[in-house]
A = this chain, B = another copy of it.
Amino acid sequence: MSPAPAPRWKRLEPDARREQILECAMRLFGERPYAQVSTTDIAKEAGVARGLLNHYFGQKRDLYLKVVKRMLLMPGLEEKVSPTGTLRQRVERSVEWYLDTVATHGKTYVAVTGAGSIADPDVERIISAADDVAAAKTLEFLGMKVEVGSDARHRAMMRSYAGMVKATIREWIRGGTLSREEAHLLLSEALITIVQDVLPQLTPPQGRADKGDAPAVKPGAPREKDEG
């Protein structure tokens, strides 16, 4: 009889194989830090040869970059909530949405965004870019669209705020030293202060204006809606 070739390994489409490897890598990188995950581990987890990782993703760092990108790819904020209500209400909905989104990713989000990450300019660039996108969406949702002159500093301050967001989520997810309600409270109050008190104090690009002189958004009097 024909001795049923009994293939020693299965042959997959490049996209399917790529996806499978990526999922295994995401799982392992979420369990332990970058340096503790060897390419051999990932290959064993995926049931393939180690060389295949390099074939599909190049260097180990490139594979990690793909994991980070996948992890930071979140559904848009503007699709879930509508920019109505007071500034406080919108801020609290934004924070709520972000905590919900992070909760689904859990440990991997903390591992990817936290200090427990790889020290690499490319990784930092990607995370920073993702922070910028989230910051822009949040600012637009909050009705803080301002002129381009001070946009760079606005984004810088939102990146600073993102640093607290990550640290807070780490306290919440990992050790449970903060409850979800406490994290929500902290992040909401801080964001309100930044949007309402700090950003308007920035001196405009041309000429100096003292505190509360002529900011794009006056403190305590946030504009209602300007996106429609």
Contact = CB atoms under 8 A, between A and B. Distances in A.
Contacts of A177: 152-153, 155-156
Nearest to A61: B35
Contacts of A186: 157, 160, 194, 198
Interface string A166-179: 11101100010110
Interface stretch (A40-48, A50-58, A111-119): A111-119
Contacts of A190: 164, 190, 193-194, 198
Contacts of A159: 167, 171
Contacts of A161: 164, 167
A193 B189 contact: yes
A198 B201 CA distance: 22
Given A153-B182, A190-B193, 14 more contacts: A36-B119, A113-B115, A114-B115, A115-B119, A153-B177, A157-B171, A159-B167, A160-B178, A163-B166, A164-B190, A182-B202, A189-B194, A190-B198, A192-B193
Contact of A124 (B115, B118, B219): B115
A118 B160 CA distance: 21
A34 B189 CA distance: 36
A153 B183 CA distance: 10
A129 interface: no
A156 B208 CA distance: 37
A96 interface: no
Contacts of A114: 115
Contact of A182 (B33, B124, B157, B193): B157
B117 A119 contact: yes
